[in-house]
Amino acid sequence: MFVDKAKIYIRSGKGGDGHVSFRRELFVPAGGPNGGDGGKGGDVIFVVDKGLNTLTDFRHIRKYTAGDGEPGGKNRCHGSDGADMIIKVPEGTIIKEAESGLVIADMSGDNERMVLLKGGRGGKGNQHYATPTMQAPKYAQPGQKAQELNLILELKVIADVGLVGFPNVGKSTFLARVTNAKPKIANYHFTTLSPNLGVVDLDGSDGFVIADIPGIIEGASEGVGLGHEFLRHIERTRVIIHIVDAAGVEGRDPINDIRMIQKELAAYNELLAGRPQVIAANKIDTLYEGENDDAIQLLKEEFEPEGMKVFPISAVSGKGVRELLYYVNNLLKEIGEEKITFEREYFPEQMEENLPFTVFKSEEEEDVYHVEGPRIERMLGYTNLESEKGFDFFQKFMKENGILDELEALGIQDGDTVKVYYHEFEYYK
């Protein structure tokens, strides 16, 4: 089954907690702290697997979790790092944040491996907190929390040329004629239920990849018919070939069909309307000689002034196909080799920076101020306020995030109390 969209949940590994222990050996009177560090949590890594061409696997497994880091041990033993979660996807997969729909990664081109979520740092053991004035620290740093995301995966096939046209105009027959692809061909609408790709080999040229996009009809950009499900696959193509039934076998008007498809492409993505387009007037083998000339002439008068070259072809007999392919190949060379990729819009590593917090003055208690929110909890989760370094980091965090400025704006004075909340823990300053 061809699946080109999936929703999954991912979570990196939590960092292991630092350990609190002391060296105790016979005849060693001054055994110091020797608590080991916690291990790092596992990363969530996406990798392109060129052997895949569908997102079917994600229909059955929707939750992907990396391993947590192990806590540190005594005698300065370091906890084991958590196992990474490797997720394999087909080339051309777009990874989006589920709620906002913003692009996190485009797994195509040179981007074949990406660490999407980093595992939490392991906490430091109490061996790191010994000072001349605190020789037996009884605390260690907790491991950093894991990160989690809900994702939308969308597969946008990698092809240089996209075939578009109404159902039953001969797109699959054309693809089978010019490539080694073996699409299903039958004389009824919506024979093709998924995009088919093939490689066009030309003498004296590198050739190109061509994709048959399932039938796009009027209203496809709004969800009508099957075309809406597959419009995304044409976004990467550099040239569009309109396949039309020049003979009007089913009573369709080829000029009206092209205009309608152009409208649907522009409604889905305005950039598509600006892509180079070529018209393949198919089924000329079913026309009489004079009738053939008239049908092709009408198409040329309508579209060639707009820069859209018209080629009369027969996908069944192969007549005119060679000329069309070489023209498209030259068009691709003029455009250049630059692949169409999607820019990154969402950065998971900045999630912590974007978390909210609240600063307010207590209504019940005089000269008491409160600081709370996810950003505060995230920071306190990996900060040990009992250590000198941890407290310095805490003060720097309060200043850099504008919390001190907000407290001053609320009228805080020397000697007032600030309550910082972390679950059931309260820190008083």
Q: What is the pLDDT of residues 216-264, one digit of tens each?
A: 655 544 544 444 556 777 778 889 999 998 877 767 788 988 898 888 8
Write down the H helix ranges in 220-308: 227-230, 254-268, 270-273, 289-303
Q: What is the pLDDT of residue 230?
A: 60
Question: pLDDT of 383-396, one tens digit each?
Answer: 667 767 667 778 88
Strands 417-422 and 425-428: antiparallel
Q: What is the pLDDT of residue 294?
A: 77
* Confidence check: pLDDT of 78 > 60: yes
CA 323 from chain center: how many Å?
Answer: 38
Q: What is the pLDDT of residue 261?
A: 86
Q: Of 144-148, 186-190, 403-407, 420-424, give the lowest mean pLDDT range.
A: 186-190
DSSP annotation of 22 reads: B
Which residues are CB-contacts of 415 (< 8 A; sequence separation ≥ 6)?
367
HSE-up of 253 (CA within 13 Å, CB side)? 6
What pLDDT band is residue 68 in, cutting at 50, 70 and 90? Answer: very high
What pLDDT band is residue 426 in, cutting at 50, 70 and 90? Answer: very low
Question: pLDDT of 133-147, one tens digit each?
Answer: 777 888 888 898 899
CB 302 within 8 A of CB 289: no
Q: For residues 84 and 283, what is the distance between their CA atoms, to the nearest angstrom?
A: 55
What pLDDT band is residue 351 in, cutting at 50, 70 and 90? Answer: low
Which residues are CB-contacts of 5 (< 8 A; sequence separation ≥ 6)?
55, 152, 153, 154, 155
* Coil, strand or helix at 174: helix
Closest CA to 137 of 18, 40, 25: 18
* Confidence check: pLDDT of 84 > 90: yes
Which of residues 151 and 382 earns the better pLDDT score?
151
When pLDDT is averaged across residues 320-349 and rounded to a whole number, the result is: 84
CA angle (292, 293, 294) in 5-degree steps = 95
Q: What are phi and psi of 48, to 5 degrees?
A: -80, 125
Q: For residues 177 and 156, what is the distance between their CA atoms, to the nearest angstrom?
A: 24
Token pair belonging to 418: 């600030």
What pLDDT band is residue 180 in, cutting at 50, 70 and 90? Answer: confident
Q: Of 170-184, 271-285, 307-321, give the lowest mean pLDDT range.
A: 170-184
CB 241 within 8 A of CB 164: yes
Mean pLDDT, the chain, integer: 81
Q: What is the pLDDT of residue 188?
A: 46
pTM: 0.68
Q: What is the pLDDT of residue 226?
A: 45
What pLDDT band is residue 86 in, cutting at 50, 70 and 90? Answer: very high
